[in-house]
Structure 1
Amino acid sequence: MPKLFFEDFEPGDVATYGAYPVTKEAIIAFAKEFDPQPFHLDEELAKHSLLKGLAASGWHTAAMLMRMNCDHFVADMASLGSPGVIELNWLKPVRPGDILSGRSTIRERRVSQSRPETGLVRFFFEVLNQSGEIVMNQDCFIMVGRRGMEPPPPRIVKPIKFEPFTEVQWPMTPLWFEDMPDKGGTTLGTYTFDTENMIRFATSFDPQPFHLSEEAAKKSPFGQLAASGWHTAAAWMRTHLANHRKIVAERKAAGIDVAPTAPSPGFKDLKWLKPVFAGDVVTYSSRITGKRVTSHPGWGLVAQQSAGVNQHGEQVFEFQGVVFWPTKP
């Protein structure tokens, strides 16, 4: 039974928690599955990257924060999931040997107008390393049940039909910054969610009952076993890089120079629009929304909108991201 309800979270409350050890093996294991870029996989190659050494995937850092949150308070709260992330910033690399902790500040709370048995609590999370440096921050709402009220019934989510990106198709990567178009969209690929990979991810990073147990999920607002939102996000990264590897191989075979990949400083407006269930096949797409030069010599920034759509054509996921992009040598 939950111990913490909407009424227990007061605006202004601050909590510090966690001592999460980051290992080289864990960094590489996560990267191999979801974010296989050289600076997450190979110590020597990482020295020559923008990160100047082996570092955890940003999606891995977000997942590690989720695990610390679960261990500290989410496991004891009447959690109903999250609608998304307002903004997330990756501020410093997370290295092997780092010990991470979390700090939460409650910014506001309100009762849902459409579902009065549900409260919305806005958290500002910070992830700190052992030196007290903030390596990531995240601004988001969590939906929480109210004390003394019956849990909400399984949600009936109105399907959002996805309108495919209509711009000219573009190869996404590995063009140099100067060659990148100002706009254009592409389909990245698909990812199949199944009971095994959903439970495996949730066990490591988001062990809430509706991600771990079919029986418990039936009693939740999801109605059946649902994937962690961070699993849905990490799967986008996996398809993005699979698409990248394919294009790199094609360009190298044709004798065309390719630009290296680079990290992202963060994203905003991430939305989990519809639950992702076992058996769902999600197709991910991205499109450019703009680009600009930066104060970092040799690097520009490219903005993009990304989305995920299930096999029924219903949009389940979207976010607005930016990524560093190398200029021509």
Structure 2
Amino acid sequence: MTRYAFEDFTPGMTKLFGPVSVSKEDIIAFATEFDPQPFHIDEIAAKDSFVGTLIASGWHTCSINMKMFADGILLDSTGMGAPGVEDLKWMRPVKPGDTLRCRMTVTDSRESRSRPEIGLVQFKFEMANQRDETVLTQSNWVMFGRRDAPPVEAPPASSPAQPSPAPNAVPIREGMSANPFLEDLMVGATDELGVFTFSADEIVRFARQFDPQRFHVDPDAAKHSLFGGLCASGWHTTSVWMKLLAAHRDHVRSETLARGERPARLGPSPGFTNLKWLKPVYAGDTISYRSTLTGKRVSASRRGWGIAAHHNEAINQHGEMVMSFEGAVFWERRSEH
């Protein structure tokens, strides 16, 4: 019998996770695969960056928090996955040698209206470093089975279409990143970032490190879960979005340099809102990613910088949206040069 079911989570309940130490090698390894911006992978280049030192990708920090939550609660629970994340803020950068802890607080709970055997629990996560400085805050709901409810009937997993002839390619389109400075960005412009085919091996590899719930790591157990088959961690899906975005921006930077121009620098993201994992991403699914500029403004706290807001989507081979969220990033201004 599992320790935690829906009934065990009452508003006000708290639990501490960690500590987890983050090494330079950890930061560079994650960023090399998913977020190879200079301030995540190159100590020398990072000195001339927005932050001035090597820092972890925000998606790496999210994934570390997920692993602490899984180890502390989910792996001994009736957990059935999360529909998304309402709000997440990266408050301070995570640096090599930092030791992270997280405080989990239950803020709300309710029974599912459509599935009485399931309940939803709202959590708030506050991650801090060894100096008790908050580095991440997060709020989201998670689905749990009720303790005495019958097993959840698993729907059949979607049948993946055949991968495209060139899976994981990154086609480049003119869009919001094609202009170098904040003033040049066009609200409403969309970048088609590319496609990525999720293999079973990649799904399991990521999940074992950051989100080892049974429906992400065990194909047989996944068949009897709410998802009906092996599916990717939501953090894996978002990390691949970052991977393709970084590749797109690197191409734009190269093209700008080839024209003899200096490209604008980009800084880190302050966070995101309204992240929705709308459908599972199954082994064999090919996901198309895109990003649309929704707004831009001058930064009130950083001279020479602005903030670009963007809406992001991921769509599977059936034309179904599997993920969306609202993000933002610090973007260099032209007017200061």
| Same fold by TM-score greater than 0.5 | yes
Tell me if the contact between 1:291 and 1:300 (Cα under 8 Å) persists in the aligned partners: yes
Summarize the alignment of residues 82-93 of structure 1 with structure 2, pairs less than 5 Å apart: 82-93=82-93
Q: Secondary structure at the match of 1:248?
A: helix
Summarize the alignment of residues 38-187 of structure 1 with structure 2, pairs less than 5 Å apart: 38-155=38-155, 169-173=174-178, 175-187=180-192
Inter-partner Cα distance in structure 2 for 1:79 and 1:281: 26
Inter-partner Cα distance in structure 1 for 2:231 and 2:207: 10
1:318 matched to 2:328? The reply is no
Gaps of 5+ in 1: 159-167
1:3 matched to 2:3? The reply is yes
1:298 matched to 2:288? The reply is no
Report how many aligned residue pairs link the two structures. 320
Offset from partner CA, 1:167-209 (integer Å, 9 cap, x none):
x951425620111112211201111100111000000000001
Inter-partner Cα distance in structure 1 for 2:156 and 2:181: 44
Instruction: Show the counterpart of 1:17.
Output: 17
Q: Secondary structure at the match of 1:199?
A: helix
Inter-partner Cα distance in structure 2 for 1:11 and 1:218: 32
- Write out the 4+ residue segments of structure 1 that deviate beyond 4 Å after TM superposition: 155-158
The Cα of 1:150 is off from its aligned counterpart by 1.4
Inter-partner Cα distance in structure 2 for 1:298 and 1:242: 25
Residue 16 of structure 1 aligns to which amino acid in structure 2? L
Offset from partner CA, 1:237-283 (integer Å, 9 cap, x none):
00101111122222222223211221100000000000001111111
1:196 matched to 2:201? The reply is yes
Tell me if the contact between 1:174 and 1:261 (Cα under 8 Å) persists in the aligned partners: no
Instruction: Show the counterpart of 2:169.
Output: none
Q: Secondary structure at the match of 2:177?
A: coil
Residue 53 of structure 1 aligns to which amino acid in structure 2? T
Instruction: Show the counterpart of 1:28.
Output: 28
The Cα of 1:64 is off from its aligned counterpart by 0.1
TM-score of the superposed pair, with normalisation by structure 1 = 0.94
Deviates more, 1:169-178 or 1:11-20: 169-178
Gaps of 5+ in 2: 159-172
- 157 and 278 in structure 1: CA distance in 2 versus 1, 3 angstrom threshold: closer
Deviates more, 1:43-52 or 1:280-289: 43-52
Offset from partner CA, 1:69-88 (integer Å, 9 cap, x none):
11111111101000000000
Inter-partner Cα distance in structure 2 for 1:110 and 1:171: 41
The Cα of 1:3 is off from its aligned counterpart by 1.6
Residue 134 of structure 1 aligns to which amino acid in structure 2? T
Tell me if the contact between 1:174 and 1:248 (Cα under 8 Å) persists in the aligned partners: no
The Cα of 1:308 is off from its aligned counterpart by 0.3
Offset from partner CA, 1:40-68 (integer Å, 9 cap, x none):
01112112212221110000000000000
The Cα of 1:155 is off from its aligned counterpart by 4.4
Inter-partner Cα distance in structure 1 for 2:50 and 2:265: 10
Summarize the alignment of residues 275-286 of structure 1 with structure 2, pairs less than 5 Å apart: 275-286=280-291
Residue 298 of structure 1 aligns to which amino acid in structure 2? G
Aligned CA RMSD, in angstroms, stands at 1.5
Instruction: Show the counterpart of 1:165.
Output: none
Q: Indicate the percent of aligned positions where both proteins have the same amino acid.
A: 46
